[in-house]
Structure 1
Amino acid sequence: MTTGTGTPVPRTAVVLPGTGSDEVFVRAAFEVPLAAIGVRLVAPEPVAGPRLAEEFLAALEAAEPPVLVGGVSLGAHLAAQWAVANPNRCLGLLAALPAWNGPPNGAPAATAAQLSADAVRDQGLDGALAIAVDGVAPWLADELTRAWHRYGDALAESLDVAATHTAPTLAELATLDMPTGIATCADDPVHPAAVAHTWAKALPRAAVSTTRLDIVGHDREALGRATVLAWLRAGGRV
């Protein structure tokens, strides 16, 4: 679809989940905020295992262009990777909680994913889950419990993928001349706000909106709203 001036506007957004998460969280966070601007959400289900990243990229490839693409954490990295390779098929990027750029190099999210993968292998899914949810907010514990059990026996391999995946470099991000909305949580040490702002500085047309994990705990849509608002501020058209 186009505006009255002939400018294409998105009607579909494909949004990918983050490490050890699932499409249930993506729908809870993004479906209503996207619907508010007339965009239909497509939230692919994770295909757990060593081909996790390839299957998510295939879901983006299957979308009818032009589309918005996006994701949370690892999902944001994969969406940006696809957009770099397919700029003419993409009307913008929604990047919630980017965790690093280029190789992970000990980034907190990558380290957490690898430690969790090791724990799954050493102590089984339930033992690793008990470690992962110890001391975290109840809402996050509930999210992890649901999603990790859905990954089942392929959880460790899926976490390996997340821990070792190379995100787009800053030079690659600099080629993305499209509106990009980035959301960060000020109280999230695993996805530092500094990474979000580093992405924004590299991207030609980007804006950052900030929320908090304790707000997302009460209102999942807060993360989606922050990302969509940033995309609109970056020049997204509807």
Structure 2
Amino acid sequence: MTTIPGINIHVHMVDVDKHQIRVEAGVLLEKLNTEILPSYGLALSLLAAISEQTIAGAISTGTHGTGYNHGIMATKIVSLELLTGSGEVLQCSDSENPDVFNAALCGLGALGIILTVTIQCEPAFRLHEIQTSTTLDDVLDNLDSNVEGCEHFRFQWYPHTDMVSLSKVNRTEKRITETRSSWFWDKFVGYYALEFSFWLSLFVPSLVPWINRLFFLIFASLPKERVDISHKVFNFECLFKSHVTDWAIPR
């Protein structure tokens, strides 16, 4: 076990053998992914779509990733320190204040302020992602086989069309693949033109089906494949500000 006083204010303890790390609750997932964990050869087992949030915020709101055999991010927390409304600091884990621990893991901040968290990580790994397209009916008809046929599965439906973009992800030992970027397609068309099109649709709502069909054909209709560091595959570019709701629907 290694203790790191003063080297990084975000890191309180690292246990390389157990693949555990204790960090301040306010550290951003992005900083964990790109700076802190790589320096110890570690990675988070799962992530949500974005990493511009704190670890405490992620676990307190039930933030989740994908994967039939994976829980939400809070299931990877070994212990935490909680500052209660009375000023008491509680050490919480499965063996110490277990009721408070379980409640705080998705507590929306109602129990107090989380000060530090100990995260169960794993050795750094790479992911192989295969993206294809199909119809919404096909996805729903084969949902069980899709979900159980890979480690991580997600799909994006383009409203006003019957088309869906599928993503199937598995761990791999393959080398990281090089990706080419194009300012014109990735930024001008994929960001500015799309955002402008959606802005226009506020005044002409009938444009929405045409916009979705067009951008599906440009960016999601062709198969894609890549291998990269885990967090780069788990996360994806959300482009601009979005309004999002999460739903849990039994299969």
Q: Which TM class, normalised by the smaller chain length?
A: under 0.3
Give the structure-1-normalised TM-score: 0.22
Q: Which of 1 and 2 has higher RCO (CA within 8 Å, sep 6+)?
A: 1
Give the structure-2-normalised TM-score: 0.21
Hey, which of these two has a bigger chunk of strand by percent? 2
Larger Rg computed on CA atoms: 2
Hey, which of these two has a bigger chunk of helix by percent? 1
